[in-house]
Structure 1
Amino acid sequence: MAEISMISTEASPVRDVRTRCEIDSLYIGRQPILTRGGALEAYELLFRESEVNRALISDDAQATARVVANAMCAMGMSATIGPYCGYVNVCREMLFDDTVMLLPPERFVLEVLETVHVDEALIGRLDKLRRIGFRIALDDICELSDELLWLLPHVDIVKVDFLSVDRARLQALTQAVKAYGKTLVAEKVETRDDYLLAQGLGFDLFQGYYFARPQVLSARRGDPSRQSLLRMLALIASEAPLVELEQELKRSPDVVMQLLRLVNSSAYGLERRIASVREAILATGTRQIARWAQLVLYASNGELSWRSDPLAQLVGARSRFMELAAARVRPDSERFGDAAFMTGVFSLVHVLLGDAEPAESLAQIRLVAEISDAIVHRAGLLGALLTLAEAVEDGVQDEVAREMRGIYPELAALTPPVFAEINLEAAMWAQAHKMA
């Protein structure tokens, strides 16, 4: 796996979040934070630039921006913190930057670095963030300073550095913090003696090598256009409102440009040019957008064109075959035909994204159960059609069809001549279509 290179120190944190996909592989470190009883309470999320479990940070703001981007966008919260809270280090620049608003306040604690300059502006900003719902933690505290006493009414959590704190003054520090009713975290706990000392002093939470070293999580870089197309297809499959589809498209400007190019092409014969996303959706229709998105999605995999890419050809033929088969099985249900087409599209998404199993990819997309169950478990009539489509690809459709008809009598409409007819039509459709 390639290392993530550090970006220029002249780049802004916000731009780093928005251009995170310029790097090939993504990394993030996480270390558990435990309760007094040893239960997992939260994770601290840490900057990592490679699989090497250490941080080489030249710019605090960039490091935080990378962590936010990876946790929220690239890897996702379910993979990075699950149902727990995440602690994220923030410098002064990031505290005042709207990038921090990407984090859900109820799920993240903002750790103010010990290097942050404290003044009235900072106090005001901390109070504002707390009103929004964020909890504020002070990081690497090792003494009862005037600055700490100034900050205590404006924070929620104090993390005491057990590697640096003066043990002779630890009790006084602890008592002062507890007098303000703040949560105490013993961090950098590396020995059992330190753990027992922290427990005896009344610390609430614990973190350090004594419990667990940080774990490095990694993920392949996601293509923002591809991810947007996947989400858009999932919205269409779930018959989401127009406004949701419009919002999803707007998140990926390059996808919008391709859609506008499609709808403004001569093939649609429109009398005027379409200039907005909503107009493009209404003019094109969700069914046509779904087909266009499928072509763009799979044709963008690697350097091969749509006509040359075998994966693109396979998914095109499969999805069209399933749509045609659905029309023979339930000729009065256009919705079932659309669902069959989508089942074919998503049945190979795991190959596109490099996941071992379809369930891994579909979990990221939040696809409707009818389609995801058909793909993962071959459930229902859609699952049966997918099984038949795969059998056609393998040349064993007659044998599989006989078995499927015993379970789903509706499939009797798919006779051998029908199989031959729709299989040929699907292959021709896949060959004839290409990206606009």
Structure 2
Amino acid sequence: MDVFIGRQPILTVDKQLFGYELLHRTGNLNSFDGLDGNQATAEVISNSYLAFGLDKLSDHKKCFINFTKDLILDETPKLFSPDSIIIELLEDIEITAEVIKKCETFKEEGYNIAIDDFTDFGNYEKILHVIDIIKVDFLGTSKEKRIEIMDRYRHRPIQFLAEKVETLEEFEEAKSLGFELFQGYFFCKPSILSTKDLKPMPQLYIQMLNEINKPVPDIDAVATLAEKDVALSYKLLRLINSLGLQVKVSNVRQAIVFLGLAEVKKWILILMFTKDSDQSSGILHLSLSRAKLAELLAKKVNVNPHQASLVGMFSLLDTILQRPMEEVLDELPIDDTIKQTLTNVRQTDYHHLLNMIKAVERNDWQELSSHLNTFTITSEALQNSYIEALKWADSIIQVTGKE
């Protein structure tokens, strides 16, 4: 499926790039669709981190991301490193004691904090001690109001950002008032970036959260649930790379161990806010059936079933994401053997296993005969495993409503 994100540059007074604001978009239409704030931010986070890759979006500059009160209290900004984002408090956020305490913690940990659409002095006075940037909307304020804001707070160690600057006159006015940062159509409209992404099956979220929330969580049970969903498995591996963890994994369970259940839980909660999948159930079914059949056959031929399952599940990532397999796998911390299998670089046991599965799907019994001899599997055992894999994939698709 296509995912979109808006990216508008923020410039310094000499028009050098300071950073970007990341904006929620649902298509090539350059406007916000009125989505709930929590869901809009969740989709920006998910898309920027897992679909595009924040490093590719940011040009190594900080990105402004809007956060609601709920997301502040849940410490969602901590999914990002302090040097990658600026926490932007939405203009309608209620500045409670809990919000202030969380922002003080963010500040202590090195995060920068901005206030969006600053107009209400009373609402923000008690949090200004942790604010680094005040954004003033040039469309939504009068010249008198802008002067009042600057006169009242210019003595503080705060940068002022003029947003929605649309004319040369407004830019010149902002400079004369002391604004240091600038954003608006006068400089550049938000560019709409798009890429292909997978959306996880939301019905699995609750099951995973229930397992994670148990007094003694069973990592194997969590991994088993994740392995039922191509998208979630892919995103967990993508997350390892996004977080800069220098590890390689050969199965989903290892990915969960490296990330930790607390981190996995955070991302499940983020993904729960995003929209349901519109990915073709046919592609998902084929990926799942390949994963299960690879696992079943691997057990019969003494090949690692977890690695075999991952090979089967990810064998269609290039089709789903409409990108070269090499490019997709470069973004995943997968064991080299699995990468070499999926990119046909080396003839591994998993490579032969995957070719046998593809021959089963094509009903090519001439090719299958050589594979059966290689793996010493009977045609009856292969057929039974194939039927079991199809039934398993059917059951997952039905349970998650992807029919």
Q: CA deviation at 1:236?
A: 4.7
Q: CA deviation at 1:243?
A: 4.5
Q: CA deviation at 1:208?
A: 0.8
Q: CA deviation at 1:390?
A: 7.6
Cα gap change, 1:392 to 1:103, in 2 (>3 Å) = closer
Tell me whether 1:223 sits opposite 2:201 in the alignment. Answer: yes
Matched pairs, number: 333
Q: Which residue identity is paired with 1:430?
A: Y
Cα gap change, 1:371 to 1:97, in 2 (>3 Å) = same
% same residue? 22
Q: Which residue does 1:41 correspond to in 2? A: 18
Decide which of 327, 345, 356 is 1:379's aligned counterpart: 345
8 A Cα contact 2:28 2:192, kept in partner: yes
Distance 1:159 1:179 in 2: 16
Q: Determine helix, strand or coil for the equivalent of 2:10.
A: strand
Matches within 5 A, 1:356-435: 356-359=323-326, 361-362=328-329, 365-376=332-343, 378-382=344-348, 385=351, 389=355, 393=359, 418-419=373-374, 424=379, 426=382, 429-433=385-389, 434-435=391-392
1:176-195 per-residue CA deviation (whole Å, 9 max, x = no partner) reads 54421212212112123433
Decide which of 125, 130, 138 is 1:154's aligned counterpart: 130
Give the structure-1-normalised TM-score.
0.56
Distance 1:389 1:117 in 2: 58
Pair member with larger Rg: 1
8 A Cα contact 2:24 2:44, kept in partner: no
Q: Which residue does 1:188 correspond to in 2? A: 164
Q: CA deviation at 1:53?
A: 2.9
Matches within 5 A, 1:217-256: 221-224=199-202, 225=204, 226=229, 227-230=231-234, 235-237=249-251, 240=254, 243-244=257-258, 247=261, 251=265
Tell me whether 1:104 sits opposite 2:61 in the alignment. Answer: no
Cα gap change, 1:35 to 1:311, in 2 (>3 Å) = same
Runs of at least 5 residues in structure 1 that lack an aligned partner in the other structure: 2-24, 255-299, 399-413
Structural RMSD (CA):
5.0
Distance 2:51 2:297 in 1: 35
Q: CA deviation at 1:223?
A: 2.0
Q: CA deviation at 1:66?
A: 0.9
Q: Which residue identity is paired with 2:254?
A: A
Cα gap change, 1:65 to 1:177, in 2 (>3 Å) = same
Q: Which residue does 2:243 correspond to in 1? A: none
8 A Cα contact 1:317 1:427, kept in partner: no
Larger RCO (alpha carbons 8 Å, 6+ apart): 2
Cα gap change, 1:396 to 1:186, in 2 (>3 Å) = farther
Decide which of 54, 69, 85 is 2:42's aligned counterpart: 69
Tell me whether 1:302 sits opposite 2:257 in the alignment. Answer: no
Q: Which residue identity is paired with 1:127?
A: E
Q: Determine helix, strand or coil for the equivalent of 1:380.
A: coil
Distance 2:354 2:99 in 1: 63
Q: CA deviation at 1:65?
A: 0.9
Q: CA deviation at 1:32?
A: 2.4
Cα gap change, 1:197 to 1:338, in 2 (>3 Å) = same
1:183-220 per-residue CA deviation (whole Å, 9 max, x = no partner) reads 22121121234334444555332211122223445656
Runs of at least 5 residues in structure 2 that lack an aligned partner in the other structure: 205-228, 238-247, 269-278, 396-403
Give the structure-2-normalised TM-score.
0.60
Matches within 5 A, 1:4-83: 28-48=5-25, 52-57=29-34, 63-73=36-46, 76=49, 79=52, 81-82=54-55, 83=58
Q: Determine helix, strand or coil for the equivalent of 1:53.
A: coil
Q: CA deviation at 1:139?
A: 1.7
Q: Which residue identity is paired with 2:325?
A: P
Q: CA deviation at 1:146?
A: 6.6
Distance 2:317 2:70 in 1: 36
Q: CA deviation at 1:141?
A: 3.1
Q: Which residue does 2:315 correspond to in 1? A: 347
